[in-house]
Amino acid sequence: MPNPEKPGPTNPYTHFAEENLYKSVPLLFEQSVSKYNDQIAIQETDQLLSYYTLDIEANRLAQAIISELGPSEQSVALILDHGSSSIISILGALK
């Protein structure tokens, strides 16, 4: 029987601590930035982004969205391509 605590070929799901189940994605990401600040978050053929740089870029996009739409909770549509810009866009929209 697969072990629910350990991800792997038979169980690809990561076990989350119960206190993290009710946190938002932006909050969980901010915690990762604090913990892994200078470590690589995204590695592409021609680009490496640290957690810190990814956070800066996502915050920049979030501020651009807020300046355009205001601080309301309006929907934001994303047209995504492959790569780091997709992750930046998703995090920026969630923030």
Confidence at residue 2, expressed as pLDDT on a 0 to 100 scale: 47
| Per-residue CA distances from 62 to 16, 35, 50 (Å) | 26, 22, 18
Answering whether pTM is above 0.85, one says: no
Q: Which two tokens stand for residue 91?
A: 């995090």
Phi, psi of 75 (to 5 degrees): -75, 150
Confidence at residue 76, expressed as pLDDT on a 0 to 100 scale: 87
Q: Compute the distance between CA of residue 56 and CA of residue 92 in angstroms, rounded to an integer.
A: 10
Q: 9 pLDDT band (50/70/90 cuts)? A: low
The per-residue DSSP string of 38-53 comes to TSEEEE-SS-EEEHHH
pLDDT tens for 27-75 read 999 999 999 999 999 999 999 999 999 999 999 999 999 998 887 778 8
